[in-house]
Chains A and B, each alone.
Chain A
Amino acid sequence: MTTAETPRQIAWKRRRDGLARSWQGFAGQKPALIGLILLGATVVLALLLPLISDESGLDVTKATGGPLRPPSADYWLGTDNYGRSVLLMTMWGSRISLLVGFSAALLSVVIGTLIGITAAHFGGWVSATLLRFTDFFLVLPSLILAIALSAVLPKGVGTIILAIGLTAWPSTARLVRAQTLTIESRPYIERAHALGGGHLHVIGKHVLPGVMPLVLANTTLVVGNAVIADATLSFLGVGDPNSVTWGLVLENALNNGAISAGAWWNVLPPGIAIVLVVLMFTLVGRGLETVFNPRLKK
């Protein structure tokens, strides 16, 4: 009896095996695995916050503690100038930061991938123009563009996501373009063309699957940058004034006397939170890169 597998089944089996191999490669790296576990825990904590803590403590009019109290049994990380718990604000800050980080990174990676693939696939003047366009934006400091966008658009979380997403794509585009060029130089792409495959077929069936792993690794690194950019924008006062973010807590500390009063507990926790989140994404991203980037394999 022959259990003849259809091409589809073969393809899926191959994909499953590939995935399992990649996972083993990833899980074999201790820092990357630790980063992933901590990241998962942070995301779960951020999602469960409304169940385990009281959001009303973030409201300046309902604050219960005295102003700028140092850490104590009641307020583990002290209070800010309005008497709000710094611990509570730091925990709630993770929600906006992660939301902005993920959404902005996704937006920028989608834009970057589209531009990168288009620039590599079509060649000719399209490619040349897109490449110049990308280089132009690569040279400009993306933070300045993001500040400009968030200064002129209505204030809010959506604006911050747009501002970061629309300005962070050039490095992804460069990466994707290079990878697409590598893939398209291989014989099987020529074969696909010869068999009558159109642009959409080649891009969707051959280029995209080949580019995705690297894009995934790149995305996690971009999320880290987006989290820093989000904090910077809120710190500069162009973020969403109505939600508690890490940048806003720090801005408040600078402008409302916590710094001059030496209230380090207003400054340390949000910053440590930013650094930890960014480090987690960097660890995961580097781990993925090691698995997927053939140039880094030893």
Chain B
Amino acid sequence: MTTPDQAAVLVDADEHRGGTGTARFVLRKIVEAVVSILLVIVLFFFLFRLLPGDPVATMIRDRPTSPQQLAELRQRMGVDDPVLVQFGRYLWGLLHGDLGESYLFTGRPVADMIGERLWPTVLLVGSATLLAVVIGLWLGIRAAWRRDSFFDRAQTGIALTLWSVPQFWLGLMLLVSTGGLFPSRGMHSPDAAPDFLSQTLDVAHHLVLPCVTLLAVFYAQYMLIMRSSLLGEMNADYLTTARAKGLRDELVRRRHAVPNALLPTTTLVFMQLGMVVAGAITVEAVFSWPGLGLLTYDALHGPDLPVLQGVFTVLASAVVLMNLLAELLYRVLDPRVRTS
């Protein structure tokens, strides 16, 4: 995990060297992202196919398997071919959207399994991030503007405490303490009416607990980042100027201070998406939310290595793409970087 202080370093340390045109900058970033995704593919191939020594032996370690089944499984996964041949075949499959076949659900294409689990995760991560950003930024702005006030101290204290809370535990506590007020598992109730409105309300009802759990830890992050970012602007000359013009305190904050402080925060929101995704794995496991996290959790108990490899490759690539987006967005948002 990165703390806000460390995360702030990331943005600071980002290259602000001038001299390159926007086109070259965009191109360089895209090439870097492509290289990163290739590295992700190689890394997870190494982790799941080579590191276990014999992936087939790892997968069957807790269950009785006949020599026949073993031979068939080895043949299906192609583990007896040379490594480079295996990797070549894997890459060729990737280009065609083929992520291999599941082991637990015999022969099911991993890409299909990921496809049908994608949308619940996007819904959960998306709604939690949106709410966390709105709440976090709002509280962060309030806290920084009234620095060292009771509100600031209380908010920072709460945020730091939530920071130390493992997400899955918060989820378990919510489950125990709300006692049946919200559904505890899954995404749909079997008895919900089939019309669109009832279905939507039903999903929303199921979404409440997992979303609140994810939100509670991440809003704290955004709040701390926004707070420190705004504190950095508080003594800037342009704020003195704005006040000298006779602007009301609220206008100074809203029109002058906040937009500048938002710059580093915006990119950090994207950069933290990787952590939100990682958090979603445990939260989905707690609430049996049928997304990629629950798929991971179930696959871990095999272990279903092809599924894990597929899910992690997809998640990591998504995080790389989000970072690319963040870097490009920063360029658009910050005129200083654009013109330099």
Contacts and interface: CB of A to CB of B under 8 A. Distances in A.
B49 to A, nearest CB: 9
8 contacts: A141-B315, A143-B275, A145-B47, A151-B308, A178-B13, A228-B164, A235-B168, A250-B168
Q: What interface size band does chain B fall in? A: 35 or more
Interface string B10-50: 10010000000000000000001000100110001001100
B300 A238 contact: yes
Main SS of the interface on chain B? Answer: helix
Given A151-B300, A178-B13, A225 B1 contact: yes
A238 B303 CA distance: 10
Nearest to A279: B164
A214 B114 CA distance: 42
Given A259-B172, A264-B177, A175 B9 contact: yes
Given A174-B6, A263-B176, A274-B165, 4 more contacts: A143-B275, A149-B51, A221-B3, A236-B281
B274 A171 contact: no
Interface string A247-288: 000100110000110111001101100110011001000000
Given A175-B6, A271-B172, A282-B160, A140 B301 contact: no
Interface in A172-196: 174-175, 178
Interface of B: 1-3, 5-6, 9-10, 13, 32, 36, 39-40, 44, 47-48, 51-52, 55, 58, 160-161, 163-170, 172-173, 175-177, 179, 184, 271, 274-275, 277-278, 281-282, 285-286, 296-297, 300-301, 303, 305, 308, 312, 315-316, 319-320, 323
A235 B301 contact: no
Contact of B184 (A235, A238, A260, A270): A260
A143 B281 contact: yes
A148 interface: yes
A231 interface: yes
B301 to A, nearest CB: 6
A152 B285 CA distance: 20
B10 A174 contact: yes
Contacts of A153: 51-52
Contacts of A63: none
